[in-house]
A and B are shown apart, each in its own frame.
Chain A
Amino acid sequence: MSDIINLTLSALINKIKKKELSSQEITNAYIARAEKSKDLNTYITTDFENAIKKAKKFDEKGNFDYKLPGVPIAIKDLFCTNNLKTTAGSKILSNFIPSYESTVTQHLWDEGAILLGKLNCDEFAMGSSNETSFFGNVESPVGKRVVPGGSSGGSASALAAKLTPTTIGTDTGGSIRQPASFTGTVGLKPTYGSCSRYGIVAFASSLDQAGPMTQDVSDAALMLDVISKYDTKDSTSVNFKRGDYFKSLSSNIKGKKIGIPKEYRVDGMPREIESLWQDGITLLKKLGAKIIDISLPHTKYALPAYYIVAPAEASSNLARYDGVKYGYRSEGESLISMYENTRSEGFGDEVKRRIMIGTYVLSSGYYDAYYLKAQKIRRLIKNDFDEAYKSVDAILTPSTPSSAFKIGDKTDDPVSMYLNDIFTVPVNLSGLPAISIPAGKDKNNYPLGLQLIGKAFEEQNLLDISYSMERELSFKNNLQDWWIK
Chain B
Amino acid sequence: MSKNKEYLIKRGNSEYEVIIGLEVHAQVLSKSKLFSDSPTNFGAEPNTQVSLVDAAFPGMLPVINEFCIKQAVKTGIGLNAAINKKSIFDRKNYFYADLPQGYQISQYKDPIVGEGSILLDLPDGEKKVGIERLHLEQDAGKSIHDIDPQNTLVDLNRSGVALMEIVSKPDLRSPEEVNLYIKKLRSIMRYLGTCDGNMQEGSLRADVNVSIRKTGEKKLGTRCEIKNVNSIKFMQMAIEYEANRQADILEEGGSIDQETRLFDTKKNETRSMRSKEDAHDYRYFPDPDLLPLELTDDFISKIKKEIPELPDEKKKRFVDKFKLTPYEANILVSDIETSKYFEDVIKNSDIKLATNWITGELFALLNDRNLEISQSPISSINLSSLINLIKDGTISGKIAKTVFEIMANESKDPKSIIDEKGLKQQSDPKEIEKIVNDVIKENPKNVELFKSGKDKLFGFFVGQVMKKTDGKANPKLVNDILKKKLN
Contact = CB atoms under 8 A, between A and B. Distances in A.
A235 B289 contact: yes
Interface in A305-321: 312-313, 315-316, 318-320
Contacts of B291: 235-236
B86 to A, nearest CB: 15
B103 to A, nearest CB: 6
B420 interface: no
B270 interface: no
B234 interface: no
B285 A319 contact: no
Contacts of B154: 324
Given A316-B102, A320-B100, A325-B55, 17 more contacts: A80-B58, A96-B58, A198-B59, A198-B60, A202-B289, A204-B288, A234-B61, A236-B291, A313-B288, A318-B102, A319-B101, A320-B102, A322-B97, A339-B95, A362-B283, A363-B281, A364-B283
Contacts of A200: 59
A199 B58 CA distance: 7
Contact of A98 (B55, B58, B284, B288): B58
Name the residue among A88, A206, A319 with the largest chain B CB count within 10 angstroms. Answer: A319
A371 B285 contact: yes
Contacts of B100: 320, 324-325
Interface string B56-75: 11111111100000000000
Contact of A88 (B58, B61, B102): B58
Nearest to B92: A316
Contacts of B52: 99-100
B353 interface: no
Interface size class on chain B is 20 to 34
Contacts of B91: 316
B469 interface: no
A326 B57 contact: yes
A178 B215 CA distance: 69
A125 to B, nearest CB: 12
B59 A80 contact: yes
Given A324-B154, A364-B281, A206 B288 contact: yes
A373 to B, nearest CB: 13
Nearest to A232: B63
Contacts of A325: 55-57, 100
A476 interface: no
B187 to A, nearest CB: 35
B95 A233 contact: no
Contacts of B101: 319-320
Given A88-B58, A198-B59, A322 B95 contact: yes
Interface of B: 52, 55-64, 91, 93, 95, 97, 100-103, 152, 154, 281, 283-285, 288-291
Given A313-B288, A316-B285, A324-B154, A93 B58 contact: yes
B58 A335 contact: no
Interface residues of A, number: 43
Given A316-B93, A322-B102, A324-B100, A197 B283 contact: no
19 contacts: A88-B58, A96-B58, A98-B57, A197-B59, A202-B289, A234-B61, A235-B61, A235-B63, A235-B64, A236-B289, A236-B291, A313-B288, A315-B283, A316-B93, A319-B93, A319-B102, A322-B95, A335-B152, A367-B283
A312 B285 contact: yes
A205 B288 contact: yes
Interface of A: 79-80, 86, 88, 93, 96, 98-100, 102, 197-202, 204-206, 232-236, 312-313, 315-316, 318-320, 322, 324-326, 335, 339, 359, 362-364, 367, 371
Contacts of B58: 80, 86, 88, 93, 96, 98, 201-202, 320
Contacts of B288: 204-206, 236, 313
A325 B291 CA distance: 27
Given A100-B52, A199-B59, A205 B95 contact: no
Contacts of B63: 232-235
Contact of B59 (A102, A206, A312, A339): A102
Contacts of B95: 319, 322, 339
A100 B285 contact: no
B98 to A, nearest CB: 9
B59 A367 contact: no
A443 to B, nearest CB: 41
Contact of B56 (A80, A198, A206, A320): A320
A364 to B, nearest CB: 5
